[in-house]
Structure 1
């Protein structure tokens, strides 16, 4: 995912910053799930939401939808969310 360039995608789509109406996405929930037997900060999936942030910064959409993953707020006493 790191090799995906949001600017290149935006350019290929022919969109100016702020032109996209809505960006929809969410983090993989497995690493955050409160139903998982164990949760670890070292789970590599826990960092994937940062790539969504990269797309938000590049596209500057009018609105965005980010899936509510309750465990994101509670993992490591909220460290991930902060």
Structure 2
């Protein structure tokens, strides 16, 4: 199997939790640099943050959306609304 490595990212300013260093575990090949891995995580969390802000703004976490079809409809509606805004 592929080996794991820990990537350490030093931040110029503290994140929301007050951390100045972040660590990531990766099993990507050695041809992918630590900087590339950090950039991939940064992009991923920008997207995750967008969905969190979207959910919060639209208050889209509705308990009655427990069925997969209803949850998919709610999610699709939220994405559509975000794109319109």
TM range, normalised to the smaller chain?
Answer: under 0.3
Higher relative CO (Cα under 8 Å, sequence separation at least 6) belongs to: 1
Give the TM-score of the pair, scaled to structure 1: 0.27
More helix by share: 2
Say which one has the larger Rg.
Answer: 2
